[in-house]
Structure 1
């Protein structure tokens, strides 16, 4: 295929959710030539699925809350393998970003005296989670889209990036993509590239993502370009995903339900969190509650569909319709009135703590010069488990930081490597023409079963070794793929997704096998204890032969201010909700 004329610009932002849009807003305000591209229609980013709220130590209801306590809660939830500097940057900057979103029209729920309201979220010491009912992510994305439109930021929707372009000396200078509406290839030439394309939880059978979202695009793009990945073994399983209808299986029942007082019961009518976490109950850390739900189901005390009951019917109808309008409506649509009966829920893959390694959170640059990353694409902030409400905060805090850095300090222009451009275009042609045996979607379904069975909520050495063997067999089958469909088809998109998912899944399995302990969301039945010597981060890199190589580096210590907050040992008293 002849190479199309490159689209040249200052900064290419890959991903049109909150992180990508916030970066672009900062760049546009500095008159930088920026383009935002997304796989879906404008305003349809995965951010809208973040329902419960965004963390910021505003002290609206608990004035004793502080940014350093927010940082301490984040480190405790991350089991002290977070990037400590990233945590501090997040906690310090979150209040300013939330107030900014409110000015831009996010319209957060208010207290009686007009302050931004805040609710309890799991494992937080104070009411810190700002919200708009249970549609917070949508409210935030709409505010960001509105601001982007006011600034006239250019945007290309339905554009799928397949490769990051690098020079011979390893600098990122653009990307290869294709137009999902026309099938035409696109070459982007940029002085800097920002990856903000989300996580990789769709590698699991049951996920809170849509099936074609969070397929590991950012992680595989960065890894293939030569950037290290980090913390890939840490995948958060949310305690409460839907079980039915089938098309919504795994979709999230927001933590706001438990934050507003929802209670978990098994089929024997027992409020079982009294056995697993009598102090924090349903608002303990997500990994704790998810494993409790899983244990009840495995012990035969689960519902007919393989779940547990989540009940908030003891709260007033009007209160629930005000605080949880989306949940009330979604369950009403399938014949369940949550104001008078319980919801059937089970754990679901929800968030990737691991991702692209950032070398400096004051700039968000990766080990590849010219390649930056923000949002769920990135590892470091969350450590072994993410504090609920920090995901939205992370997107806008680090989106603003990378945008501000590039607004002030753009890399010098560099030529596109024409041979690499042509090779990437040839790979697109070859994938489209692939006339092998195996259907892309069938292999994706198989991959998801492998990951659920062998790298799920509870793991062990034998299971992960078996999972890696199955994944290698699947990789061989993927080399004999049948596509034979143009680039506007679902089949071609699935073929590209499959390649990303295989890379990301291998990184998860290899890192999980390496970490011989249990820590946060990574639980090994053959190593159930947390080992002090494993307070380190596992990095995944590509060696000279193109194979995955692993190494481990010690985790950072927090600054004295955060160490003091950790020593104060703040903790939520759940029974305030009773």
Structure 2
């Protein structure tokens, strides 16, 4: 990662590399026997395109490249087919009109703008909404088994804040089914893949990338990737919070940190979506704390009740009820708990027992199975839920037709980027973005390749940078203090939950930044257990990236002195027209810098749809 002038920021992003020597002998290695220069033993891998991340976004980019005759290399931190996409249960949006023929792409775009509080990138939204009907049909061709209506059409359900039934689904395992379908297509096309690989640095001079450095998490072997084109599809950063809907070892800011320190810009980091319904309570156990209870439960008619048996959303949103925007529902639950109307576990009840039991089993099979394994029959008793950090609208600032980041050869896609969702994501749009924009990025990268990309160069300077990184990684394993990486990550999660959670204010954010500096000081006493293949080492590398993104997010949240979407300031509770701007974060000579950028306007068709004022009629479900 590029050295940063600001000392406190460098401590967060680069501390584990502090002992790396600068005068490493320069030499250009070729693929073959492992190389070493006093650091981690490594091999050189050459590829025309390196895709970092193997979820739906990375897979869709890879498919487009392969169909264009390019052999990219896809790498993932887990086994092939095991990515966070599988956790997106409820569905994927496309204006097919299966049940509501009046729906069209412009209304889909208008709903997305309204949910995003008009901070969305207009081109990104319109491209996603226009592309999605074809992307759904494409997935069908590749074998995705969408639920069907009695007439054989792709079935669609309500999701929060959508004007029509637009969310296509496979029961409540849509993300899993989508990833299986995409991975099946990837395998049919024989796309090269390496699993259990972690990238720790992009080789960049701030103007262009010449490759990447990482290691094999199973063997401990270092990897130097020679390539002129890197696509970041590494997810978001919601797992920085102590209650979140991800696994602990994903969505921890890898993509954003790598991009920032390669010279790219980040945008809208203050917008973190807290899903209203995460599992909570001793009954479920610590393993399940924060895990998502899909919005499909509310989309199929699930109701929220406080401890007094009151259906409290009638107070907060009498028209849209449980299917109002996620930020509205999450704040409502938080208020019920704060005002002592929550359960003993600090949550509320989500109840779908009024629906026919067989219908619930058919539409929500994964939820039924999960809760049944915990001794709860959701067809007969309610679930206990509370808000959980779920999705990050902010990320890398890109051109949505190309995926370009402003650093030559570096692209990004999926939850790694910002723009489609604005200040709050419309449910069902995360999976939509992965395949809609993923196809466009793959198409552009394929068109940008030249013959030189088959055998890319790595300059002497970049080779030296890579070897310094390998040496620093080796030295990280020798850390023998008293503080564990996991312990620091847990403290970071508590810090962000307490000071940059659902409700924020100036004093809390400043206190969070002060605590972040204190947490960084403790890295000097870090202890890394075992070797390169250990979880301790993985979390130590995660820590450096997570601290970078955490600081950027806290500073952006402090900068935005209004409430908008998922960003709620109790000291600035109103939405201000002057704040209809994106906040862009970059690395300057004095550390992180934040600037404002105006937001464009949507095209005529979307403006017309916005003027019509389409809105969900919740009472269709009653």
Alignment-derived partner of residue 550 in structure 1: 594
Is the counterpart of residue 8 in structure 1 residue 53 in structure 2?
no
Alignment-derived partner of residue 326 in structure 2: 286
Alignment-derived partner of residue 568 in structure 1: 612
Counterpart Cα distance in 1 of 2:402 and 2:524: 38
Alignment-derived partner of residue 479 in structure 2: 434
2:416 paired residue among 377, 380, 383: 377
> Deviation digits for residues 342-374 of structure 1, max 9, x if unmatched?
00000000000001110x211011021110011
The residue correspondences of 1:46-65 to structure 2 (distance < 5 A) are 46-65=84-103
Alignment-derived partner of residue 75 in structure 1: 113
Counterpart Cα distance in 2 of 1:221 and 1:158: 18
1:355 paired residue among 360, 371, 395: 395
Return the offset for 1:408: 1.6
1:457 paired residue among 499, 502, 509: 502
Alignment-derived partner of residue 146 in structure 1: 184
Return the offset for 1:169: 6.1
2:517 paired residue among 472, 475, 492: 472
Alignment-derived partner of residue 20 in structure 2: none
Counterpart Cα distance in 1 of 2:368 and 2:223: 43
Alignment-derived partner of residue 573 in structure 2: 528
Is the counterpart of residue 137 in structure 1 residue 175 in structure 2?
yes
2:545 paired residue among 500, 508, 516: 500
Return the offset for 1:480: 3.2
Matched residue SS, 2:230: strand
> Deviation digits for residues 477-517 of structure 1, max 9, x if unmatched?
12432115210001000101111111111111000000000
Return the offset for 1:387: 0.1
The residue correspondences of 1:89-104 to structure 2 (distance < 5 A) are 89-104=127-142
Return the offset for 1:274: 0.3
Matched residue SS, 1:433: coil
Matched residue SS, 2:198: strand
Counterpart Cα distance in 2 of 1:539 and 1:5: 37
Alignment-derived partner of residue 19 in structure 1: 57
The residue correspondences of 1:118-517 to structure 2 (distance < 5 A) are 118-166=156-204, 168=205, 170-243=207-280, 244-358=284-398, 360-410=399-449, 413=453, 415-416=457-458, 417-517=462-562
Counterpart Cα distance in 1 of 2:219 and 2:582: 42
Counterpart Cα distance in 2 of 1:169 and 1:367: 9
RMSD (Å), alpha carbons: 1.0
Structure 1 residue runs of 4 or more that deviate by more than 3 Å after TM superposition: 411-414
Matched residue SS, 2:199: strand
**Runs of at least 5 residues in structure 2 that lack an aligned partner in the other structure:** 1-35
Question: Which shows bigger deviation, 387-396 or 406-415?
Answer: 406-415
Are 2:206 and 2:407, in contact at CA under 8 Å, matched by a contact in 1? Answer: no
**Runs of at least 5 residues in structure 1 that lack an aligned partner in the other structure:** none
The residue correspondences of 1:99-110 to structure 2 (distance < 5 A) are 99-110=137-148
Q: How many residues align structurally?
A: 575
Question: Which shows bigger deviation, 339-348 or 476-485?
Answer: 476-485
Matched residue SS, 1:344: strand
Question: Which shows bigger deviation, 474-483 or 392-401?
Answer: 474-483
Counterpart Cα distance in 1 of 2:377 and 2:164: 30
Return the offset for 1:171: 0.5
Counterpart Cα distance in 1 of 2:437 and 2:616: 27
Return the offset for 1:475: 1.2
Return the offset for 1:33: 2.4
Return the offset for 1:5: 3.9
Matched residue SS, 1:448: helix
Matched residue SS, 1:368: coil
Counterpart Cα distance in 2 of 1:159 and 1:329: 32
Counterpart Cα distance in 2 of 1:328 and 1:560: 44
Matched residue SS, 1:6: strand
Return the offset for 1:431: 1.4
Matched residue SS, 1:58: coil
Matched residue SS, 2:49: strand
